[in-house]
């Protein structure tokens, strides 16, 4: 199993290759209404209810070293979230997965942040006639891996505060198990953290229980035992991975340092485990692409990961 | 002072004129990055933080019978909301007002729903370097008047429920005095109301206090006195108008029916009061406009309201 140094060294090598690429999708690719466009050019209708009332759910799978990680876990959670919101994935799950794999391959991005957003569509719930069908919209994009904590900071640990000017939106108002983008409380928390010279806000529920932070779950190690809030939080897939690694290692005792290290190494090892990830066939991009008009770049598809030309 | 019947009869006449117009902006006009486009064609960047994290504030002034109503009250609230969110109106207030007046005039819409949205911009708060400036984005659109309660229903009264499956997001999580589009709780309330055969959800704060509903404040008349929640709600401009009318009429006693009627009549009379509204000069649109490309229609500006050709 690779250590933190190895994992980051290999990642940085892949990133250097990506940054030299002339593929127009290197900085990101988006799928909007069936069209592939460079992410920076992607636009959505102003009147989409995802913008008009943040009436949406989303999920963020990832690609690591050319392998899709726990994609089915993310797709399952997304479908459950949609059902809770009385929405539907507008395309069959397998078709969505195929499109995502194709997008990653076309982008040449080996370590990717992948986002799928499903919105209510152009018609809102207010003024809606019961029984009338909604046409939900799907937006997807892929960009180079986004770190919640930069690799350099991970070596030593980041700085967090327990927010005292804001509390997490309670489950009785907005269900946090439905991944959502109503970040009003988390944004306030980010500002408070920065004001207090820190990076990460941990929000309480207002009754002195920890919940979660701005895009991450909170896990604590105390006397060799891992603790994490169960209520008022998203059931994160990374959190689940921590449980899987801990279970595999039989972790119940030990000290903070070694436990975090074991979990960390085990987490990245999962990314090569066919049980949790599958490899993507990348397109070989030949020469400079003059096509920057938003149409998908053409390339030769090969089996297995290929380096970019 | 006009009665409800008069107010609606005149409105319906204006609406009939609007519906016959061949102005390309009759169904709505949007201002996006300095361009005027028909509302249905307006698009925003997918990566705008207004969509990505609902990191925005907004306001909704209105136009009634060719007069902008309490525009400065809305602009003031919007600026206060921006300040609370550490954002800024990207253009001077007077310039924004001029653009709005121009948009209404070009659209020919005499009774309009007007929305201004200010978003964090393309860069998010997460990962932001303290001190680094944000470039906030402004989006504006105008469309024919949107009724929270249809005129026909206003004659008899709508059906509401006090929601029991959802509570309002508390001020300690998201400040409701900053008008926001994080409608997760309100959307749940709308579904609950529909499931229970009603139209409007009134949300409590979870501690048996009424707060507000899906886009409206709640006011009650009991024993001749008007009551409305003060905490955990938006300080609505319509709510403020109710206070102004009540004060002018010295309302403290009376019965529910006559009080509601007096407030209603007074509310619409305010729309013709230069203290609260100002008249818009409409463009006279000559003949059929072939220009449907999203550029602003040309017309001759006149002083005073003009009927459409």
**ipTM of the prediction:** 0.86
Beta strands in chain A (DSSP E): 29-32, 35-38, 43-45, 56-59, 62-64, 67-69, 112-119, 137-144, 160-162, 200-204, 210-213, 216-217, 220-222, 225-227, 277-279, 283-284, 300-301
- At residue A275, φ and ψ (nearest 5 deg) are -70, -30
What pLDDT does residue A1 have?
Answer: 65
Interface test with A, best of B54, B87, B190 (most A CBs within 10 A): B54
Least confident of A92-101, A117-126, B91-100, B243-252: B243-252
Size of interface A-B (CB pairs under 8 A): 134
pLDDT band at B169 (very low <50, low <70, confident <90, very high): very high
Whole-number average pLDDT of chain A: 88
Tokens 């653009």 correspond to B99
Q: Give yes or no for a contact between B87 and B135, defined as CB atoms under 8 angstroms apart.
A: no
Residues of B in contact with A168 (CB under 8 A): 173
Interface test with A, best of B57, B138, B184 (most A CBs within 10 A): B184
> Closest Cα of chain B to A258: distance in Å?
28
Q: pLDDT by residue (tens digit) across B102-144?
A: 999 999 999 999 999 999 999 999 988 878 899 999 999 999 9
Mean pLDDT of B3-24: 95
What pLDDT does residue A256 have?
Answer: 43
Q: pLDDT by residue (tens digit) across A240-278?
A: 999 888 888 887 674 446 677 788 888 989 999 999 999
Q: Do A214 and B126 touch (CB under 8 A)?
A: yes
Domains of chain A: 4-146 (3.30.470.10), 152-271 (3.20.10.10)
Q: Do A170 and B174 touch (CB under 8 A)?
A: no
Whole-number average pLDDT of chain B: 88
| Chain A CA closest to residue B206 | A172
Q: pLDDT by residue (tens digit) across A131-185?
A: 889 999 999 999 999 999 999 999 888 999 999 999 999 999 999 999 999 999 9
pLDDT for B305 beyond 50: no
Q: pLDDT by residue (tens digit) across B193-221?
A: 999 999 999 999 999 999 999 999 999 98
Regarding pTM above 0.95, the answer is: no
Mean pLDDT of B263-282: 90
> Closest Cα of chain A to B224: distance in Å?
31
């Amino acid at each position: 199993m690779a250590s933190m140094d190895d994992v980051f060294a290999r990642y940085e090598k892949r990133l250097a290759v990506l940054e030299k690429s002339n593929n127009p999708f290197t900085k990101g690719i988006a799928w909007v209404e069936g069209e592939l466009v460079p992410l920076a050019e992607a636009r959505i209708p102003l009147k989409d209810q995802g913008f008009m009332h943040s009436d949406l759910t989303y999920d963020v799978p990832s690609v690591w070293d050319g392998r899709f990680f726990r994609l089915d876990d993310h797709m399952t959670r997304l479908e459950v979230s949609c059902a809770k919101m009385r929405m539907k994935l507008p395309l069959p799950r397998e078709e969505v997965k195929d499109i995502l794999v194709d997008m990653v391959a076309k982008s040449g991005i080996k370590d990717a942040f992948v986002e799928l957003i499903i919105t209510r569509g152009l018609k809102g719930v207010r003024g809606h006639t019961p029984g009338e069908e909604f046409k939900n919209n799907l937006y997807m994009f892929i960009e180079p891996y986004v770190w919640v904590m930069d690799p350099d900071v991970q070596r030593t640990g980041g700085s967090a505060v327990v927010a005292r000017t804001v509390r997490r939106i309670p489950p009785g108002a907005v269900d946090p198990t439905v991944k959502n983008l109503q970040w009003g409380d988390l944004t306030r928390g980010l500002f408070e953290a920065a004001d207090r010279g820190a990076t990460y806000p941990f929000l309480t529920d207002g009754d002195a229980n920890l919940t979660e932070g701005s895009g991450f779950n909170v896990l604590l190690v105390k006397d060799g035992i891992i603790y994490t809030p169960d209520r008022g939080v998203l059931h994160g897939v990374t959190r689940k991975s921590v449980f899987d690694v801990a279970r595999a290692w039989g972790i119940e005792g030990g000290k903070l340092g070694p436990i975090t290290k074991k979990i960390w190494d085990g987490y990245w090892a999962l990314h090569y485990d066919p049980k949790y990830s599958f490899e993507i066939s990348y397109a070989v991009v030949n020469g400079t692409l003059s096509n920057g008009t938003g149409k998908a770049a053409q390339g030769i598809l090969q089996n297995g990961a290929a380096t970019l030309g």
